[in-house]
Chain A
Amino acid sequence: MAKFEKANSVGEWLDQRLNTTTFNKVMMTEYWIPKDINFLWAMGVLLATTFGILIISGIFLMMYYKPDIGLAFDSVNYTIMQEVAFGWLFRHMHGVAASVIFLIIYIHMFTGIYYGSYKQGREMIWISGMLLFMTFSAAGFSGYMLPWGQMSYWAAMVITNLFGGVPVIGDALVVWIRGDFNVADATLTRFFMLHVFLLPVTIMGIIGLHFYTLRIPHVNNQSSEEFDFDEEAEKYLAGNKKESKVIPFWPVFISKDLAVLGIFLIFYFYLVFFHYNFAMDPVNFDPADNMVTPAHIYPEWYFLWSYEVLRGFFFDIAGFKAFDIGLIAFAFANGIFLVLPWLDRDPAILPAHQRPLFFIWFWVLLADLIVLTVYGKLPPTGTNAWVGFFAAVAFIVIFLVLPIVTKIDAKRRGSL
């Protein structure tokens, strides 16, 4: 056994047993972050905070929510909204945070794409981040089912039916996922379990992994400059703070993060108190009815782009069923971001404005996603169907040309 001296303070006592001083250094005061970054690098802390808000508001909602098709709707819309003290606040905080977290995720993702923070050693950061996007999407979908309104029900119907597209076992798989021939009580209760336990626990695990993936390749910076972190850290520790290209995570980097967080939280609570309705679809205030589909159904705004890719293919092409093409395109849209580091054939890490063709590619992708999002909410008839079709085709083409675009950039620069 290790030899323990008598401690002179609680801090020292803990340090002897848990080595808190070293732990603190490794995780906080000597975790080095580049200096040359902007407010877009604060999104990670914003996301962690928003996830915390979701957990806390979720705990309070869970104490009154009832995962039973006979009770769910009233437990949300009557008990929580009208009887529980501040129940309305917890619900709106939860709903708005679920929506806003996707906005921040998208900003976080596109910051990474713009500055090339997904490649040449940073692939695992990107992949773990995309896994978080996927698990958050699953959590968003399963949570949307819980109030058991018309949108909850029919979103569940459409999304579970997507699994019917799996070859051979599709139909049986749909019944297995639902636990019934229809979306029913068994479906609600198991998605409640996924939403309040399995998915949050998985997300917490992947968040840990996501932080860990940053440690070895380190955080990227605005000019994608490569430098020796150990060397720069030494400069900082020796007192040459001005000369050093790095700052410690705590308390230097975090102070700016917290300032950005403050602005974000004011915006967030402004939405919670004055504009919560954008996260509360009026159709979902009709109780679920398995015999009536609402006149027009659509997912929450953050799923619209992939939803539009799914339904963009509304006619059979060359013997392939429209249903299958749509489903394959949908799978492509959800999987393609995962392999982004390998579609980018440019060996250099540079911000998009120093990669002429990639710069255009980036903004075209963003524009296409906005078009898909806007048309995803409109009824799929007439011109809308065609705009959706071309935007969906464009989405696929955009990713197919990425290897060529990045190669040309690299060749012109002389990197290839």
Chain B
Amino acid sequence: MSNETNRRDFLGYSFAAVAAVGGAASLVGMKQAWDPLPSVLAGGFTDVELSGLKAGNPVTVEWRGKPIFLLKKTAAMGEAPRDLIIGSDRFTVAIGLCTHLGCIPAWKKDKWKCACHGGEFDANATQTFGPPPRPLDLPPFSVKGTSITLGEEGPEFKKIAAAMMA
């Protein structure tokens, strides 16, 4: 401190220091009060049996409050790097929320169409029209026989996620 700093300045600076520490601590606390609660973070795991799916007819299941699209692909839908292959069947697994602003697209014949802003996704969950910036997201899952557990990161998930990044 310079020689010209008097006692009142010193008092002012000490208060500023106390206020800055307290203010920063309060902001951290207030930020964390708005974070998802532990019970929300611990959210569940969902098991789904895939053997009953009919090719070309996607089903929607709920996982952590979000819709998950499960589509058994027909031969005409071709192959894609994100296919989940179980036996001779190919599946598309995707979080059913439009990657634009989160509406649930509806299945229309051979693609998902979003009513909100007109986005479209093909059977591989790839965006083909409108504002969605990326394909439908891939939820974490693990495979046990012909069923999958949503919420667990299994080796099949990691392989597909890596293939999608490429």
Chain A interfacial positions (CB closer than 8 Å to B) = 154, 157-158, 160-162, 175-182, 184, 186, 190, 290-297, 311, 313-315, 321-324, 326, 379-381, 385
B78 close to chain A: CB less than 8 A? no
A12 to B122, CA, bound (A): 80
A-B contact pairs, 28 of them (CB 8 A): A154-B103, A158-B103, A160-B102, A161-B101, A162-B101, A175-B36, A176-B31, A176-B35, A179-B37, A180-B36, A181-B40, A181-B64, A182-B65, A184-B65, A290-B66, A293-B105, A293-B106, A293-B114, A293-B115, A297-B116, A314-B118, A314-B129, A314-B130, A322-B131, A323-B131, A323-B132, A323-B133, A380-B118
Asked if B118 contacts A290 (CB within 8 A), the reply is no
Given contacts A158-B102, A323-B100, contact A314 B40 (CB under 8 A): no
Rounded to whole Å, the gap between the CB of B27 and the closest CB of chain A is: 13
Residues of B within 8 A of A315 (CB): 130
B26 on the interface (CB 8 Å rule)?
Answer: no
B85 to chain A, nearest CB (A): 27
**Other A-B pairs, 15, CB within 8 Å; known A182-B64, A297-B116:** A157-B102, A157-B103, A158-B102, A158-B103, A161-B102, A176-B35, A179-B34, A179-B37, A181-B40, A181-B43, A290-B65, A291-B104, A314-B131, A322-B132, A385-B118
In the complex, what distance in Å separates the CA atom of A160 from the CA atom of B60? Answer: 23
Q: Which of B40, B116, B118 contacts A180 (CB 8 A)?
A: B40
Report the bound CA distance from A321 to B135 in whole Å.
Answer: 13
Query: Taking beta carbons and an 8 Å cutoff, which residues of B are in contact with A?
Result: 31, 34-37, 40, 43, 60, 62, 64-67, 99-106, 114-118, 129-133
Known contacts A380-B117, A380-B118: does B101 contact A179 (CB below 8 Å)? no
- Chain B residue nearest to A321 in the complex (CB): B133
A157 to B37, CA, bound (A): 19
A residues near B132, Cβ cutoff 8 Å: 322-323
CA distance A212 to B31 in the complex (A): 33
Residues of chain B contacted by A296 (CB below 8 angstroms): 115
Residue of chain B at shortest CB distance from A307:
B117
Q: With A291-B67, A293-B116, A295-B115 as given contacts, are A176 and B34 in contact (CB-CB < 8 Å)?
A: yes
How many angstroms from the CA of A326 to the CA of B132 in the assembled complex?
Answer: 11
Do B66 and A311 touch across chains, with their CB atoms under 8 A apart?
no
State A162–B114 Cα separation when bound (angstroms): 16
Cβ contact within 8 Å between B115 and A379: yes
User: Does A293 lie within 8 Å of B103, measured CB to CB?
Assistant: yes
Q: In the complex the two chains form, what is the Cα distance from A190 to B37 in whole Å?
A: 13
A380 contacts across to B, CB distance below 8 A: 117-118, 130
For the complex, give the distance between the alpha carbons of A293 and B115 in Å: 8
Question: When chains A and B are docked, how far (Å) is the Cα of A96 from the Cα of B64?
Answer: 36
State A58–B36 Cα separation when bound (angstroms): 29
Cα separation A181 to B37 with both chains bound (whole Å): 11
Q: Which of B99, B106, B131 contacts A311 (CB 8 A)?
A: B131
Output the residue of A186, A291, A313 with the most chain B CB within 10 A: A291
Q: Give the shortest distance, in Å, between A225 (CB) and chain B (any CB).
A: 48
CB distance from A5 to the nearest CB of B (A): 40
State A292–B66 Cα separation when bound (angstroms): 10
Q: How far is the CA of A322 from the CA of B49 in the complex (A)?
A: 37
Is B118 a contact partner of A311 (Cβ separation < 8 A)?
Answer: yes
Closest residue of chain A to B116 (Cβ to Cβ) is A297
What residue in chain A is nearest B119 (Cβ atoms)? A314
Indicate the member of B66, B115, B116, B130 with the most A CB atoms within 10 Å.
Answer: B116
Closest to A157 in B: B102
Q: With A179-B40, A180-B36, A380-B117 as given contacts, are A313 and B65 in contact (CB-CB < 8 Å)?
A: no
